[in-house]
Amino acid sequence: MSFTLPDLPYAYDALGPYMSRETLEYHHDKHHLAYVNNGNNLLKGTEFEGKSLEEIVKGSYGKNAGLFNNAGQHYNHLHFWNWMKPNGGGAIPGELEKKIIEDLGSVEKFKEDFVAAGVGQFGSGWAWLTFKDGKLSITKTPNGENPLVHGGVPLLGVDVWEHSYYIDYRNRRPDYLKAFVDHLVNWDYVAELYSKAL
């Protein structure tokens, strides 16, 4: 398979005021597109041609850094657009909420720890709600890495590369992360991934 860039699942101005049209234009149309194009070029002639994106991400990790970085970021961004929605945040579907309380203490504690993971990721990377061995945990990864390569399933991820927040928040990464958990998260999509991972 080759990588393709899907349209955003909402209008470019739909996530305001928490994420602006300008951010989404740059982030989706330029950054994500670059991962798609570079990934396709680096995929050519490798053993990974014809494999699924998930197989490429897992298989190229530690073996083909160029391909991994771009395939990983393509995977992360495909989900990232769906991890947000207009008027997001809010109520978490029941089963998932129960599991968050069971494994992570409370919804409030989850939010605090998720934001702290994003703030604590030095440089570029991602913070995650990860499902692994029947348990939820909060993790973080550098650059294009994600929980797949550590045997987990990424249920929710937030991009903490500066391109994701610098236009709207400048250096205030914590404010971006708080806005993400309180106003942007598409919990229905997270719950869908959780039910598939069970």
Choose the binding region for Mn ion from 52-60, 115-123, 145-153, 159-167 (rule: CB under 5 A). 159-167
Q: Is 145 in the site for Mn ion (CB under 5 A)?
A: no
Binning the chain into helix, strand and coil, the percentages to the nearest 5 are: 55, 15, 35
Closer residue to Mn ion (CB): 145 or 159? 159
Q: Is 168 in the site for Mn ion (CB under 5 A)?
A: no
CB 5 within 8 A of CB 36: yes
How far apart CA 169 and CA 151 sit, in angstroms, is 33
Choose the binding region for Mn ion from 6-14, 95-103, 105-113, 152-160 (rule: CB under 5 A). 152-160
Question: Site size for Mn ion, by CB under 5 A?
Answer: 2
| CB 147, min distance to Mn ion, A | 16
| CB 146, min distance to Mn ion, A | 12
For residue 173, which of 125, 119, 124, 127 has the smallest C-alpha distance? Answer: 119
| CB 161, min distance to Mn ion, A | 5
Interacting residues of 176 by C-beta distance below 8 A, sequence separation 6+:
164, 165, 168, 169
Q: Which of 110, 159, 184, 194 touches Mn ion (CB under 5 A)? A: 159
Interacting residues of 35 by C-beta distance below 8 A, sequence separation 6+:
3, 70, 71, 73, 74, 77, 144
Interacting residues of 174 by C-beta distance below 8 A, sequence separation 6+:
115, 119
Closer residue to Mn ion (CB): 114 or 161? 161
Closer residue to Mn ion (CB): 101 or 167? 167
Chain residues binding Mn ion by CB under 5 A are: 159, 161
